[in-house]
Amino acid sequence: MHAFTRIGTRLKWVGIAVLTIWAAGCRQPEAPEYYGFQNLQFVQGTGAGAQTTLSTVVKLYNPNPYSLELRRAEVDVAINGRHAGHSLLDTTILIPRRDTFYVPIALQVDMRAILNNALQALLSKEVNITLDGRVKIRRGMLTFNRGFHYEGKQDINNLLQNGVNF
């Protein structure tokens, strides 16, 4: 009987150790680091009431020691504090561990917001870009919903040198 008690105690401690390790592995992933964007393009639609689409590829870095899957992303973009557009990415992108990855973004933009900021941007040579949104990330069997916020200055000359296409 004494042997069963010792085995039961050992199993209990092993169980606690396994649960602790499992719980530590279930913490939410760190947010990716923003490295910039490339291939910025504006495409004007045709016809009455046509929308202008801005597309770009955002470069990010995954600091996590494990790979992830980006399942969905929604983002609102503001330029100098004025709402400029909304984007929805509803596709799966594989994110390698501790490596850079690229996310294509296309959004319908409010050209009035961009044109209202054009003179101010040309005079100051930079614009303040704000991104607010939510992402759905999957790691193995676990799915995380996470909000994000980015705000930073973008040099207009740098944008033009990187090839803004109209």
15 vs 18: CA distance, rounded Å = 5
Q: Which amino acid is at 72?
A: R
Q: Mean pLDDT over residues 136-161, rounded? A: 79
Query: Which domains does the chain carry?
Result: 29-161 (2.60.40.10)
Q: Which span out of 105-109, 134-138, 159-163 was modeled with the highest average pLDDT?
A: 134-138
Closest CA to 114 of 56, 53, 34, 160: 53
Whether the CB-CB separation of 44 and 63 falls below 8 Å is answered with no
What does the pLDDT read at residue 69? 93
pLDDT band at 166 (very low <50, low <70, confident <90, very high): very low
Name the H helices within 26-166.
Answer: 111-124, 156-161
